[in-house]
Amino acid sequence: MCETCGCGDPEIVPIEVQERILSDNDAQAGHNRIHFEGLGVLAINLMGSPGAGKTAVLEATSKAAAGRLKLGAVSGDLATERDADRLNAAGIVSSTITTGSACHLDARLVHHALHHFPSGDRDIFFIENVGNLVCPAIYDLGQAANVVTLSVTEGEDKPLKYPVMFQKADLVLLTKVDLIPHLDFDVAAVEDALARVMPGANMLKVSAKTGDGIDAWLHWLEDRRPAAVERPSEAHEHHDHEHQHEHD
Amino acid sequence: MHEYSIVASLIDRVQHEAALHGGTRVHRLHVKIGELSGVEVDLLKTAFDTFREQTICDGAELAIDTVAPAWACPSCDRSLALGAILRCADCGKPARMVQGDEIILERIEMEAPDV
């Protein structure tokens, strides 16, 4: 019965839901995951602050993997296609998801980009998220792993300040380590901070400029590649899973 | 400010439930938000107050139950202090989050004459 005025009509009824508010995004992410796994592609959600070096790490990765791995990427960018242009120039087949004012990618945006992606035979597919240490952390995109870039110019306490992002990371790339001799950056302090927010804390030190650590990062990626699957010969054709939606 | 996108998802979900149950007006939503979910409760309230207008949630109250984080060892269940190294002191296993990352719609109170 109505609690407010006691009129008794209409009735107020409690409807139990008990579901994640982002369940629609979760379902779309699950669908993307089927796409990636069906193609035998390792999908990586690459996150980090603006300027942490996400694009530079991918450029260095492409250089080190040349001839061994076919790389693809979609880059989330508020306003430009600069990152995708840089990645294409570096040999990574890339497209841009222009998000306008949105501060993160969601599974629907990634799905749309996948259906318009120019290549379907990639070994590793990077989803370069919008530069932001808060919002991207809560949206599953269908990735196999979350990788967070943290540059040495950002300070050792970043993991403590942005615990949600680092808690969701499978790997942290400490970037721009070539700058350490010029800074008062304490690597042990960032390792300690990470250990307090990231279960099974795992960090690799890399420099896109010198190439230091990029081989270890490539090994980390290769260890996670799914077992070989039979691939379709056509680029990004549809597979035998059910689609519940329209494609445009 | 992903709180606006979360509120959009929330209102969509409420509209869906209202259609299912013949709901005509929503009085209150109960949501559960973990302190390590990445959702700011104050921003969520502001976003809800802005977006509920002219939807089925117009005038509805958003009741938020916040959940403090808790970590434990996945094998021996030993709980870890907040801010501690997230590794079991006994067996060395990485800790597992027991609670604190919830972003959940628990319950909707609505006028549903047909229920």
Is A2 a domain residue? no
Smallest CA–CA distance, residue A198 to chain B, in Å, is 7
pLDDT band (50, 70, 90) for residue A11? confident
Is A1 a domain residue? no
ipTM > 0.95 for the complex: no
CATH number where A77 lies? 3.40.50.300
Q: Do A196 and B13 touch (CB under 8 A)?
A: no
Is A217 a domain residue? yes
Q: How many other CB atoms sit within 10 Å of the CB of residue B7?
A: 24
Q: Do A15 and B110 touch (CB under 8 A)?
A: yes
Give the span between the Cα atoms of B101 and A55, in whole angstroms. Answer: 29
Identify all chain B residues contacting A15, using CB atoms and an 8 Å cutoff.
Answer: 17, 21, 23, 107-110, 112
Is A10 a domain residue? no
Considering only alpha carbons, which residue of chain A is nearest residue B28? A14
Is A231 a domain residue? no
Q: Is the previous residue joined to A136 through a cis bond, with omega within 30 degrees of 0?
A: no
Q: How many domains does chain A fold into?
A: 1
Identify all chain A residues contacting B2, using CB atoms and an 8 Å cutoff.
Answer: 103-104, 134-135, 138-139
Smallest CA–CA distance, residue A112 to chain B, in Å, is 18
Q: What is the DSSP letter of B50?
A: H
Give the span between the Cα atoms of A181 and A142, in whole angstroms. Answer: 38
When pLDDT is averaged across residues A58-83 and rounded to a whole number, the result is: 92
Residue of A2, A13, A18 with shortest CB distance to B106: A18
Is A145 a domain residue? yes
- How many Å from the N-terminal Cα to the C-terminal Cα in chain B? 37
Identify all chain B residues contacting A196, using CB atoms and an 8 Å cutoff.
Answer: 83-86
Greater confidence (A228 vs A221) lies with A221
When pLDDT is averaged across residues B13-20 and rounded to a whole number, the result is: 94
pLDDT one-digit tens code per residue, B55-66: 999 999 999 999
In chain A, the percentage of residues whose pLDDT exceeds 70 is 88
Residue A238 scores a pLDDT above 80: no
Residue A56 scores a pLDDT above 80: yes
Tokens of A212: 């230091």
Using DSSP bridges, classify how beta strands B25-34 and B61-67 pair: parallel, antiparallel or unpaired. Answer: parallel
CA A118, distance to chain mean position in Å, is 19
Where is B4: in which H helix or E strand?
Answer: helix B3-21
Structural domain including A131 reads 23-224
Residue of A3, A135, A163 with shortest CB distance to B36: A163
Residue A9 scores a pLDDT above 80: no
When pLDDT is averaged across residues B40-62 and rounded to a whole number, the result is: 95
When pLDDT is averaged across residues A85-114 and rounded to a whole number, the result is: 92
Greater confidence (A234 vs A150) lies with A150
Q: Do B105 and A10 touch (CB under 8 A)?
A: no
Q: Show the domains of chain B with their CATH numbers.
A: 3-107 (3.30.2320.80)
**Predicted local distance difference test score (pLDDT) of residue A247:** 46
Interface residue B92 vs chain A (CB under 8 A):
no
pLDDT one-digit tens code per residue, A167-218: 999 999 999 999 999 999 999 999 999 999 999 999 999 999 999 999 999 9
pLDDT band (50, 70, 90) for residue B75? very high
Interface residue B87 vs chain A (CB under 8 A):
yes
Q: Smallest Cα–Cα separation from A244: which of A43, A34, A99, A45? A: A34
Determine contact, residues A38/A222, Cβ cutoff 8 Å. no
Identify all chain B residues contacting A139, using CB atoms and an 8 Å cutoff.
Answer: 2
Is A53 a domain residue? yes
Is A241 a domain residue? no
